[in-house]
Chain A
Amino acid sequence: MGTLIIDDVSMRFELPNGGAVQALKNVSLELKKGELMSVLGPSGCGKTTLLNIVAGFLSPTEGKVILNEHDVIGPAAERGMVFQQGALFEWMNVRKNIAFGPDMAGKPAEETNAKVESLLQIVGLQDFADKMIYELSGGMQQRVALARCLANDPDVILMDEPLGALDALTREKMQGLVLKLWKETGKTIILITHSVEEALLLGERLLVMAPRPGRIHKEYQLPFAEMGVGKDLRLVKKEPQFGKVREEILSMIWDMEEEIMGRQEDAA
């Protein structure tokens, strides 16, 4: 129960001019309950496509996604999603935003209120419960997004560059919060990021993807997420092994980018 299986998923977009793009090719992986996996890769490697398939916003041209022993055929409350920004509802205050999922499911108001209060405590927004979304800073807005997702108690949380729009300091604080939430709630989390450091810090498993066609290039098992829980993340970054893996992955991605550039030049 609770296992997420991505079974030989391929995705091919037909272009209007007759061509086609192979966004994903034969991607398979299995995520156990409570695993935290970060996904990294150069632009165009299909990581957002993969996340959209798991979320159920896209159906793959081949293969399937299985969660809780049934096929994923569309979006559902069992798979929560945290977006980069712009996904909160401006016409509601913080409390109503967080309560959106339970309200849609028609849960009793008392139960929902209690849950919202405890989530406000967890993400540190208890003093902002009645503020409107546009009155909050970017970091606070992402806290609301996390709380809103958790309020629905999903089995899997999908994060599409959730911290991408934040400044460096806020981002570091939020990385700590994501680790804390992961440990406290025991949720299965897939997190997409552009930042190698973030992928290392927020991934027990780290998936490096390669473009054209989008595929899994290499997978790492990393100790840093476990180390970072409740600690100063800067100490984790000072670990010698952290620096080593970071350099390895950076050069890997650089090579891929160079290859893409080279191919484009050849084509030209």
Chain B
Amino acid sequence: MTVALIYVVLFVAAFAAYNFYVRSREQSKDYTSLKTVTFGDESAVTANRFASIVSVVALFAIWGAFTGSKLMPLHVPGPFVGDSAFTYTATKPGGETSDATVKIRVHKVGENVELPEPDPSTGFAKGDVAKIGAWRSGLVRAQVNDDGGGEDGYKVTAIDGKPIAPNQTVRFANGTVSMTPKGSLSVKPDSGWQMEPIWLPAPEAVVSRLGEIASEGYKNYTLWEHLWASLSRVLAGFALGSIVGIPLGYAMGLSSWFRGWFDPIVEFMRPVPPLALIPLVIIWFGIGEEGKVILLFLAALWIMTIAARAGVSGVNISKVHAAYSLGASKKQLLWRVIVPNSLPEIFTGARVAMGVCWGTVVAAELVAADRGAGMMIVNASKFQLTDIVIMGIILIGIIGYGIDILMRMAENYLVPWKGKG
């Protein structure tokens, strides 16, 4: 909630600052800036690259601020670390009271610290000490070492002068003290607003983990072997799906018999999410490479079939008539007209298929795999290695985005006439 609010504030502030900056300097004179109608004119709206950069920086800044990153100068308040103390008032059954101090040393989790020296006390209540990890809480049995602490009716009645009873909570300087039903004190130092690394590690922790996994590997395989395992499965599945799907799509676009025969199958399989096939593929083919490639083959197959069929159906009949009138045979028509004419549709299908395959392979590896990006993150999550999980998610995102960019570049290079027919 707080994070969302900070994000909105950053968004508005950056927007206002940018507008202020743009107004204060001379207007550029490109064509769009001369348009008077821009609100509602889609062509006047382009992604503001400055905003894109600020957006990415803002995300990392928030991430850094809430994880106490060293890369970020500003942080939200972190958990309390250091020495603190509170006094408690113990009351004997007879009504006599005595005060003593509980000294608390809050330390970072994983650090070894000494217990503080207890305060000497004058009354029957004796000083206590405790060490507690940041973000954790600790139990203090204050009365155990007191004179007469074992008597029936002996109890702690106030913290720093504020009365307390079982199941009540009282604040002290750096946190809260709750009393358990049995009369012990549960001390919880302030946790602040920062995320504990086990929930969200700092950006530099993720980066250093990336370096570590890249050089040492994770679970018997290097990082590159994990990523290549996923990628090679996608490439194999996609290649098989295309090799079978594209000719099948052409046949469905060119022959009524083929279309009639395969239409029910394709139309039924198309809406089945590939993820729903994982259990069946595991039953039939096991959890090895074979099963994964078959799953991705099935994910790509229907998309490529439908793309090729649409590519054939989309050919302008004038082009077909023209080719025949120019003396083309059926074979020449297929290779010189139908195939090139369907390439734009096939590329669109290929981009979708690669995206679906990438998503499916990660999901399949989450279920069962000995290596792969999905296996890496699901395995890391079982051991609370959140930095590996986040690193994996970022790498999966980057690779998915990279695949799409490569496909788009190939498309621009191979079918420059797309959308210009």
Contacts and interface: CB of A to CB of B under 8 A. Distances in A.
A91 B324 contact: no
Interface string A76-111: 110111011111111100000000110011000000
A76 B329 CA distance: 10
Contacts of B415: 91
B40 interface: no
B52 interface: no
B56 to A, nearest CB: 36
A86 B417 contact: no
A132 B340 CA distance: 14
Nearest to B339: A91
Interface stretch (B108-116, B145-153, B217-225, B314-322): B314-322
Nearest to A74: B324
Contact of B324 (A75, A154, A158): A75
Nearest to A158: B325
Interface in A5-60: 55-57
Interface in B307-332: 316, 318-319, 321-329, 332
B421 to A, nearest CB: 5
Interface string B401-421: 000000000000001110011
Interface in A215-260: none
B337 interface: yes
Chain A residues touching B, majority SS: loop
Contact of B417 (A77, A87, A133): A133
Contacts of A85: 318
B318 A87 contact: yes
B321 A55 contact: yes
B91 interface: no
B341 interface: yes
B327 A105 contact: yes
B391 to A, nearest CB: 43
B340 A91 contact: yes
B325 A91 contact: no
Contacts of B323: 100, 104
B343 A91 contact: yes
B318 A91 contact: no
Contacts of B318: 83-87
Contacts of B332: 104
A55 B325 contact: yes
A134 B417 CA distance: 7
B326 A132 contact: no
Contacts of B343: 91
Contacts of B416: 132
A167 to B, nearest CB: 20
A104 B327 contact: yes
B329 A104 contact: yes
Interface residues of A, number: 31
A89 B324 CA distance: 13
Given A132-B416, A133-B417, A104 B326 contact: yes
A90 B318 CA distance: 13
B417 A91 contact: yes
B326 A77 contact: yes
Given A91-B343, A104-B332, A134-B420, A77 B325 contact: yes
B326 A148 contact: yes
Contacts of B327: 76-77, 101, 104-105, 152
- From A56, A75, A101, A105, residue with most partner B Cβ within 10 Å: A75
A79 B319 contact: no
Contact of A101 (B316, B321, B326, B340): B326
Contact of A89 (B319, B325, B329, B420): B319
A86 B326 contact: no
A113 B324 CA distance: 21
Nearest to B324: A75
Contact of B341 (A81, A91, A100, A148): A91
B326 A87 contact: no
Given A132-B416, A133-B417, A134-B421, A87 B319 contact: yes
Contacts of A89: 319, 336-337, 340-341
A133 to B, nearest CB: 7
A161 B343 CA distance: 29
Given A104-B332, A132-B417, A134-B421, A86 B316 contact: yes
Given A77-B327, A104-B328, A104-B329, A87 B322 contact: yes
Interface string B208-247: 0000000000000000000000000000000000000000
The 9 closest A-B pairs by CB, nearest first: A77-B327, A134-B420, A87-B318, A90-B417, A75-B324, A101-B326, A91-B340, A81-B325, A87-B322
Interface of B: 316, 318-319, 321-329, 332, 336-337, 340-341, 343, 415-417, 420-421
19 contacts: A75-B324, A76-B327, A77-B326, A79-B325, A80-B325, A83-B321, A83-B322, A86-B316, A86-B318, A88-B319, A90-B420, A90-B421, A91-B343, A91-B417, A100-B328, A101-B327, A132-B416, A148-B322, A148-B326
Interface of A: 55-57, 74-77, 79-81, 83-91, 100-101, 104-105, 132-134, 148-149, 152, 154, 158
Given A55-B321, A81-B325, A89-B337, 7 more contacts: A81-B322, A87-B318, A87-B319, A90-B420, A104-B328, A104-B336, A154-B325
